[in-house]
Amino acid sequence: MSTRAQIAIQIGPDAWAHVYCHYDGYPSHMLPALPLPESLRGGAAAKVVSTMIAKGLIEEVDADTRKGEPVWRETGDGHGVTLIATNAGLAAIGIETESTAAEPIDKAAPKTRTPRAGTKQATLIAMLRAPDGATIGEVSAALQWAPHTIRGAMAGALKKKLGLVITSGNTGGRGRVYTIRD
């Protein structure tokens, strides 16, 4: 019995890139179906495959062309290289092998991003961390940014990328005040 599945990585908010994988229980047969999907060509294919190799989902091995193994790329010395799914790649698509059942997959901690000192983003964060917080008008005057730019920076750079929690509330005379509370 064999399983066909795909290993995928997210390359954008609504975009995924994948490599098809065939697994029939024999480690020597754990090969993604090559050629890659028609929509994945050239530099995009190289980027997706290198990302999957970096994440440990697939690896490059020497291709045995006598057995008809597909060739992913050719080396300079005339030999071919093919791709195989690693145990982590098989676990990612729900196929449990003997070695993945025994060892848990390590997930690396996400990188903590910190803004550079002296930048407008650092100034924005300092203003929002102040005890009284800041309004859009105050930030606009200090940074010379348009209001829509400030809201975009708070939603994108501060919330999504840096993971900061921004709260807002309406106060009496100042209007809506934005704050970062750790």
Give the pLDDT confidence of 154-170 residue by residue, as tens digits.
Answer: 998 888 888 889 999 98
109-144, pLDDT tens digit by residue? 555 667 788 899 999 999 999 999 999 999 999 999
Distance separating alpha carbons of residues 5 and 20, to the nearest angstrom: 6
The whole model's pTM is what? 0.42
Q: Which helix (H) or strand (E) holds 136?
A: helix 136-143
Within 8 A by CB and 6+ apart from 32, the residues are: 7, 19, 20, 21, 22, 58, 83, 84, 85
In angstroms, rounded to a whole number, what is the distance separating the alpha carbons of residues 159 and 79?
A: 48
> Other CB atoms closer than 10 Å to residue 53's CB: what's the count?
15
Fold adopted by 120-180: Arc Repressor Mutant, subunit A (1.10.10)
Mean pLDDT, the chain, integer: 75
Q: What is the pLDDT of residues 46-97, one digit of tens each?
A: 787 788 888 887 788 887 777 777 777 787 777 788 777 777 777 776 766 6
Q: Between the CA atoms of 117, 121, 127 and 129, what dihedral angle is there, to the nearest 10 degrees?
A: -80
What is the structure's pLDDT at 145? Answer: 95
pLDDT digits (tens, 9 = 90+) for 3-41: 555 556 555 565 555 555 555 555 444 444 455 666 777
Per-domain boundaries in the chain:
3-102, 120-180
